[in-house]
């Protein structure tokens, strides 16, 4: 699952790339105090019926403390949290 984001410029291998998709995976949750997410910023281009995608940046983001305690466990809330940490604007 991925979300469309307002395009952002990413520096990769000496070139500027544009990311327009955001993917998120929960990699660890202790069910009490913290969760860790793996994210990817993706450049996706649609040409007619064909779509090509390339990961242009990735990393990890941790949620803990009041953020974790206030998290309802939903995907949308997780996406919103990590997008906020990365200064991304989700558009769908």
Query: Over 50-86, what HEC string results?
Result: EEEEEEEEEEEEEEEHHHHHHCCCCHHHHHHHHHHHH
Task: Tell if the pTM clears 0.85, that is, is over it.
Answer: yes
The DSSP bridge partners found for residue 58 are 40
Angle at 11 between CA 51 and CA 3, to 5 degrees: 40
Q: Is residue 76 part of a domain?
A: yes
Residue 91 lies in a domain: no
With bands split at pLDDT 50, 70 and 90, how would you rate the model's confidence at 68?
Answer: very high
Domain that holds residue 15: 2-86
Q: Tens digits of per-residue pLDDT, 4-37?
A: 999 999 998 888 999 999 999 999 999 999 999 9
- Is 79 within the bounds of a domain? yes
Residue 52 domain flag = yes
- Residue 49 per-residue DSSP state: T
Q: Identify whether 35 is part of a domain.
A: yes
């Amino acid at each position: 699952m991925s979300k469309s984001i307002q395009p952002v410029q990413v520096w990769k291998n000496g070139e500027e790339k544009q990311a327009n998709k955001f993917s998120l995976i929960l990699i660890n949750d202790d069910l009490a105090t913290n969760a860790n997410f793996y994210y990817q910023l993706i450049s996706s281009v649609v040409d007619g019926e064909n779509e090509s995608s390339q990961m242009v940046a990735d990393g990890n983001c941790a949620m803990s403390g009041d953020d974790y305690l206030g998290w309802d466990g939903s995907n949308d809330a997780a996406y919103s949290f990590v997008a906020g940490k990365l200064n991304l604007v989700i558009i769908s």
